[in-house]
Structure 1
């Protein structure tokens, strides 16, 4: 799997219903390339299906957390793209101050959250992080 495949998967995770044309524009390649890549990823078993995530399902994460991330150099765009491809990422916020990005995470278990945190910490450009678990929500938007 190359960088284009990873970018395509990230885009599909963000919107699995995106048209081939929209994906091609986003990735800077032709529709034919996008269609071929999707077919190849499905044939190899990298993509096993597509699904629908309902709003109510997204808010039922048993474990939720905020991860504040410090990024070295100019890697914020790359790190944000990588974060967008992770199923546990619910939102990505740019910010000012000590942290460059704040990420909302949601998983079914603490072990899953720990796995996601470990993966994010290994992203090239991530220099430091701090994570806080969300215990209760008093008011949701």
Structure 2
């Protein structure tokens, strides 16, 4: 789950001021965005730097918070959670947002959650075992203290952008 107490505390803080990537950093970042498993050798070849110099740049990008982490894309169907939905949750103005977010973090079905603008206050990506499991997760969301309403859209097909 992407939302934790630590990430909530640090989510508003961007990279440190000296973290502005230069053109070489941007090449590294672009390659890593498209292939998080790109090797230092591949990154070095793309930038024209030595592997050692590339390693230093990647380490600095991590230390400065420009690279927030490395992640694997996992086929959720293989894990027994083939049904994905995007739930929208509206909370009351007096709701305890920290308690609500902690409840989200405690659910195995929650893939990620975002506080958003607009009619709803949160967008929650759920990976469920079945349609009845979706109904159960929506019921749990609606029963959280401070929740006014929740609805969901079934995610049919993820568009691969590159």
Coarse TM-score class (shorter-chain normalised): 0.5 to 0.7
Whether the 8 Å CA contact 2:84–2:127 is kept in 1: the answer is yes
1:112 aligned partner: 133
Where does residue 87 of structure 2 map in the other structure? Answer: 67
1:56 to 70, 74, 80: 74
What's the secondary structure of 1:132's corresponding residue?
strand
Which aligned pairs between 1:1-141 and structure 2 lie closer than 5 A? Answer: 55-58=73-76, 60=78, 61-72=81-92, 73-139=94-160
Q: RMSD across aligned C-alpha pairs, in angstroms?
A: 2.5
Taking structure 2 as the reference length, the TM-score comes to: 0.50
Shift of 1:140: 6.3
- CA distance in 1 between counterparts of 2:111 and 2:149 reads 20
Query: Aligned pairs, how many?
Result: 91
Report how far residue 117 of structure 1 moved: 1.0
- The one-character-per-residue Cα deviations of 1:78-122 (angstroms, maximum 9, x if unpaired) are 111101100000001011111111100001211111111111110
* Residues 92 and 117 (structure 1), Cα distance of their counterparts in 2 relative to 1, 3 Å cut: same
Q: Show structure 1 runs of 4+ deviating over 2 A.
A: 57-61
In structure 1, C-alpha distance between the alignment counterparts of 2:127 and 2:136, rounded to whole Å: 12
SS of alignment partner, residue 56 of structure 1: coil
TM-score scaled by structure 1?
0.57
Consecutive unaligned residues of structure 1, counting only runs of 5 or more, are 1-9, 15-21, 23-53
- Unmatched tracts of structure 2, length 5 or more: 7-71
